[in-house]
Structure 1
Amino acid sequence: MDFDHRTEGTADEVWLAAPQWAEVPALVLTDLARLVVVSAHPDDESLGASGLIIHAAQLGVPVHVVVATNGDASHPDSPSTTPAELAAVRRAELLSAVQHLAPGASVDFLELPDGRLREHVDTLAAHLGSLELGPRDLIVAPWRGDGHGDHEAAGATAGRIARNRGAQVLEYPVWMWHWATPTDARVPWSRLVTLALTEEQQERKELAIRAHTSQNAPLSDAPGDEVLLGDRFHDHFCRPFEVFVTPLGSATLSSSFFSDFYEGKSDPWGFETRWYEIRKRQLTVASLPRPLFASGLEIGCSIGVLTADLAGRCASLLATDIAEQPIATARARLIEQNHVEITRADVPTEWPDGQFDLVVVSEVAYYWSAEDLDRVLERIALALTPDGVVVACHWRHPVEGYPQRGDDVHRAFREHPALALLSEHREDDFLLDVFVRPPALSVAAETGLV
């Protein structure tokens, strides 16, 4: 969790006064066969999507609610209520809330660990996959940029399943209204849509929210049982409209995007100066399972800082990028390295000839659509030698306008049948995975130590 719920947060009148609302379009719902609402914790659905649930039910659309966790970690220091007792209370509260919204709705409780949903997304994904979603189904889930790990995991998983099944998808912010302000660059204004609520729908939404008594009132007078969600927080959900986030752009970013991005900048990412980048680069090079490679390929080399480190580990190295300006900088940096070739290539449309025993894909694959990423993985599988190594490293936080997230990218790498995971390094900020041809043998096994 990237915020403290005990802080005052941004007042709702500040949000309502934001001029950006004038550019936010209305949500249009047509020809829905089913609404599937994913809730990371009991009460997420009531706070973020209860108006939509009511609206769908009134249109005769079946509603299915999937509750990932029981929310039993909401009061970790409670002296009066055990986690098991709180889980039972919160399940009952959710069922009561749903009765106010869509009495005929079905509810699934997955009972995954509260606060650790990232570790159990495969279970959530399998359950959502079993619902046989299709193009006329709409799945809504917590916004993956909400600042809460469970919300991020729920939103990203729902988005992945929706994409795979061709279903429609929306995400709803909950905590963003608390920790952000209207001018915060993380607020995805360009992707917001609003759903207007009637007075009757607002009243039913308020009843649903208040049904979650354990979150809206103290469990007892004892320390550790304090109210979790105060009136100032609830103000965000008393509006005559609900807000949803539409999916990230689905198309691969064009070469003009990168040309514009690099214009007038020598090192826009801070590769040469930021300790974060220096450390990550050192970890990337240290992850290589062999001291030397015959033929390396780096996709998306930018200004060639990582390229210079890889050059010392490869007998020959081909580095590509989509934009001319960083390529010029990279060529100047490696001008004395005759075994390094740096060329422009619009991957995956263009792909270099040859076989490679090292392929590095660092901070580039989230620029590609899901379809183009699949194309790249197929090209890597064809170009990789039998003893080849693939290194993938990507930023995990959401970026407005990028087609994919780092977690989505690495999941695709892990699911490809031609690749086996050899090692992994996971931090809140980035993922670093190393793959080989199956089966994956450890460095100790490969070198005869075990």
Structure 2
Amino acid sequence: MEKPEKSLDAEFFNKMYEQNQDPWDFENSAYEREKYDATLKAIPKDKYKSVFEIGCSNGVLSEKLANFCERLLAVDASSIAVENAKKRLADYHFVEVQEMTIPKNFPEEQFDLILFSEVGYFLSMEDLTLSRDKMIDALAPNGHLLLVHWTPFVEEFPLTGDQVHELFLQSAEPESGILAHLYGRSETQYRLDLFEKKQ
């Protein structure tokens, strides 16, 4: 089986959620708990005015991320995941959950923190590049962009986690002058990179 060339669509994810409401075991996985802890520790500030979480799934990480936000926009391509996240986050009046497929759909506003976690490898390189550019445009000056992705090879995903992060690191090279790379961490099964948008 060859890796797909096109981005995986909402139908792909809805089928997964129809079979299992928590397909990656976000609720109970020790791996996910450790990764969530590392993700939250990598966030530089205690509070952000406006945060954008791309790929919120059922909202397990969103609920933890809410502690860092005055406002959180959490989105996912799966309508089933979005409904589950809305239920989980119903008591958080400052959290908005929307069904959204990037880069086709993208909010027209600025954020001072964007979290792009476990999503990039579902996209084609063309769509990932467009998504990266849209994220950079949506970041406020000195805003933070945090990437976290599983790195082992998965045949049914268009890209690997390493390919995702390497593309963003290109925008942090001195000649690009767009992003500054603040922090990187590589574990056995995932990697994490934090960027800041230059003024």
Fold match, TM over 0.5?
yes
Return the offset for 1:338.
0.3
In the alignment, structure 1 residue 298 sits paired with structure 2 residue 53: yes
Return the offset for 1:264.
3.3
Return the offset for 1:428.
1.8
Code of the aligned partner of 2:183: S
1:364 matched residue in structure 2? 119
In the alignment, structure 1 residue 314 sits paired with structure 2 residue 63: no
- Paired residue secondary structure (1:303): coil
Pairing 1:159-174 to 2, within 5 Å after superposition? none
2:184 matched residue in structure 1? 424
Counterpart Cα distance in 1 of 2:148 and 2:136: 18
- Paired residue secondary structure (1:335): coil
Structure 2 unmatched runs, 5+ = none
1:435 matched residue in structure 2? 195
For residue 88 of structure 2, the aligned residue among 317, 333, 345 is 333
Structure 1 unmatched runs, 5+ = 1-189, 192-247, 440-450
1:260 matched residue in structure 2? 15
Counterpart Cα distance in 1 of 2:10 and 2:68: 29
Return the offset for 1:401.
1.5
In the alignment, structure 1 residue 383 sits paired with structure 2 residue 138: yes
Return the offset for 1:438.
3.6
Counterpart Cα distance in 2 of 1:353 and 1:307: 21
1:286 matched residue in structure 2? 41
Identity across matched positions, percent: 37
Code of the aligned partner of 2:193: D
- Paired residue secondary structure (2:134): helix
Return the offset for 1:406.
0.3
Runs of at least 4 residues off by over 4 Å? none
Counterpart Cα distance in 1 of 2:198 and 2:101: 29
Q: How many residues align structurally?
A: 194
Larger-Rg structure: 1
Code of the aligned partner of 1:394: H
Is the 2:142–2:198 contact (alpha carbons within 8 Å) kept by the matching residues of 1? no
Which protein has greater RCO, CA pairs closer than 8 Å, 6+ apart? 2
> TM-score when scaled to structure 1?
0.42
Code of the aligned partner of 1:280: K
Code of the aligned partner of 1:365: G
Counterpart Cα distance in 1 of 2:189 and 2:161: 9
1:76 matched residue in structure 2? none
- Paired residue secondary structure (1:315): coil
2:149 matched residue in structure 1? 394
Code of the aligned partner of 2:17: Y
Counterpart Cα distance in 1 of 2:180 and 2:142: 12
Is the 2:182–2:196 contact (alpha carbons within 8 Å) kept by the matching residues of 1? yes
Counterpart Cα distance in 1 of 2:73 and 2:27: 21
Return the offset for 1:315.
0.3
Return the offset for 1:268.
1.0
